[in-house]
Amino acid sequence: MSRPARPRGWTGRRAGPGLPRGRAECFPLQALALAPAVPGPDPEARLSDDYVRLVARDAYFWAWPIVNVYNRRIALGRLPHPMLLGGVLPAGPANSLTMLTDYVDPAGRAVACPNHDLVCGSGIVALDQSPVVLQVPDFGDRFWVVQVLDSRTDSIAELGRMYGSPPGFYLLVGPNWVGTVPPGIRRVFVSQTRTGVVIPRVFRDDSVPDLKTVQRLISQLGLYPVAQFDGRMKTTDWRQVPVVPAAAGGGDAETRWVAPETFLADLPAALADARPLPGESARYAQVLAVVAAAARDARLRQVFEQAVAAADRELVEPLFEFRSHGRRLPHHWSTIANGACFGTDYFTRTAVAKSNIFVNKPNEAQCFHQDFDRDGARLCGSGRYTVTFAQGAVPPVKGFWSMSLYNGRHLFEVNALGRYAVGSKSRMRFAADGSLTIHVQPQSPGAEHESNWLPAPAGEASEFSLSIRAYWPESAVLDGRWTPPAVVRCA
């Protein structure tokens, strides 16, 4: 029996959850195409103070990561050449890469929750200036990942050991790019924002021979404008990168990349750099209309600036603490499930940017954070703690895992042992029953336990946090079947 003819313009879509049954089962394509344009805000309208406050607070919250990354581009992207600022921060001109040659210096203050497991680097990309070639050497079976993020801190590329990415050349392009892909480029990655961040991470063990091997391999990591691409691997001896003193007055907190007092001036350029996601056009129009009104009216400017200053104190600053966001897990641990894939999850995106910016996608590295002991008391330097993994219950990974300790500002606290993380590559002692106990405390737990000691800052006022990273995690980590054990305070 033949089917009746379908109506002209039939799309083939039946009624979904938002459409009542028995009503229209198709959308004529002509009707969709002829939908009228929706007008935006009236630029001449007088705005109330309360409305300006409302929009300013909201914008400060959801645009905070975008402004953060864009301001890094402004501050770092115009440097004359690759350098180590203060001897610790890899920085350089836009569309170039700077690599460390060993673990990050624990004195670094540029990024919260720095990594002491890998040899890392960074580069700011300005895709409105040029497409950029990313050069990747052959790492063999060594763990590595090159993270490429847009200014929303969302990942735009899949490059690493977990993806089976071959060595060679990759092209990064901006939104609406039109051009010819040069021969020899393996793959093109498209960013929805003009500004981005490239962060290579390469595993090394703690031996001197392996460090030398890593330094040889990373010499072929590169990032440069497409005009410089000639199909040949370029080599850079990153040990020769000059050290430039840091500016005085940096303090003991993460570098401040978003300032309420300059947010009004910073926001239009940052939003112009990051075109709206689907559904965000009205949000952009609303914010930019208020920004324009505040820019030409001194009184509204004052209202706007007071509102964002309050939003910084009341909305963003509290998200610095791990306990304020993320998924709740047993024993007070927390994690997130959408790292570097935030989209329009404005809350999680800003919370992570404030507490621990530039996290990997979960399948690359899943992080777990802890502020409390088993009984819900804040971790601090007056206590002695243990974290015990039962036999076979260490984090299940295809790469490796580690536990790091951060002070109250989510930075490393320099210690005499020079140890800032322990994990699967550490020479720790397992108990006779196959369990593994990590000792977290200011003083040595004794010679027999010192291999398992993660030093903590001393003193009642020295609050700290723990972070477990599972690199290239197994499915048990990703689906929640594995979670970390309790942090137990010793009597």
What CATH number does residue 167 fall under?
Answer: 2.60.40.1610
Strand-pair category, 132-136 with 243-244? unpaired
Does residue 49 fall inside a structural domain?
A: no
Q: Has residue 42 been placed in a domain?
A: no
> Please, how many CA atoms are within 13 Å of residue 221, restricted to the half-sphere of its CB?
29
Q: Assess if residue 383 is contained within a domain.
A: yes
Q: Which of 176, 203, 204 is nearest to 190 (CA)?
A: 176
To which residue do tokens 């959308």 refer?
A: 27
Residues 183 and 120 in one domain: yes
Same domain, 342 and 484: yes
Residue 108 maps to a domain: yes
Strand-pair partners of 463: 380
Let me know whether 183 and 327 are in one domain: no
Number of helices (H) and strands (E) in the chain: give both, helices first.
8, 22
- 354 in any annotated domain: yes
0.95 exceeded by pTM: no
Q: Is-contact 209 194, C-beta < 8 A?
A: no
Task: Judge if 360 and 462 occupy the same domain.
Answer: yes
Q: How many domains does the chain have?
A: 3
Q: Residue 202: which residues within 8 A CB-CB, separation 6 or more?
A: 118, 119, 120, 139, 142, 143, 144, 214, 217, 218, 221
Residue 29 CA, chain-centre distance (Å), reads: 40
CB 469 within 8 A of CB 402: yes
Q: How many C-beta atoms surround the C-beta of residue 281 within 10 A?
A: 13
DSSP 71: H
Mark whether 368 and 472 lie in a shared domain.
yes
Q: What domain range includes position 20?
A: 1-35
Do residues 481 and 332 share a domain? yes
Q: Which two tokens stand for residue 455?
A: 């030093």
How far apart are alpha carbons 120 and 112 in whole angstroms? 14
Last residue of a domain, one of 241, 273, 289: 241
> Are residues 104 and 17 part of one domain?
no
Residue 209, exposed/middle/buried by CB under 10 A (0-12, 13-18, 19+)? exposed
Domain containing 350 — which CATH number? 2.60.120.600
Helix crossing, 346-356 with 49-76: angle to 10°?
50
In this structure, is residue 337 part of a structural domain? Answer: yes
Among the candidates 174, 208, 241, a domain finishes at 241
Q: How far apart are CA 367 and CA 80, in angstroms?
A: 35
Q: Give the contacts of 11 (CB within 8 A, at least 6 positions apart).
A: 26, 27, 28, 29
345: left (phi over 0), alpha (psi -120 to 50) or beta: beta
Integer Cα distance of 245 and 399 in angstroms: 36
Residues 368 and 463 occupy one common structural domain: yes
State whether 141 and 231 are in the same domain.
yes
- Shared-domain flag, residues 384 and 466: yes
For residue 60, being part of any structural domain is answered with no
Between CA 223 and CA 127 the distance in angstroms is 12
Per-residue pLDDT of the chain (491 residues; tens, 9 = 90+): 444 343 333 333 333 333 333 333 343 444 445 557 889 999 999 999 999 999 999 999 999 999 999 999 999 988 999 999 877 889 999 999 999 999 988 887 777 898 899 999 999 999 999 999 999 999 999 999 999 999 999 999 999 999 999 999 999 999 989 999 999 999 999 999 999 999 999 999 989 999 999 999 999 999 999 999 999 999 999 999 999 987 654 556 778 999 999 999 999 999 999 999 999 999 999 999 999 999 999 999 999 999 999 999 999 999 999 999 999 999 999 999 999 999 999 999 999 999 999 999 999 999 999 999 999 999 999 999 999 999 999 999 999 999 999 999 999 999 999 999 999 999 999 999 999 999 999 999 999 999 999 999 998 889 999 999 999 999 999 999 999 999 999 96
Instruction: State the pairing for strand pair 185-190/168-173.
Output: parallel
Q: Do 136 and 204 belong to one domain? A: yes
Domain assignment present for residue 306? The answer is no
Final residue of a structural domain among 191, 207, 241: 241
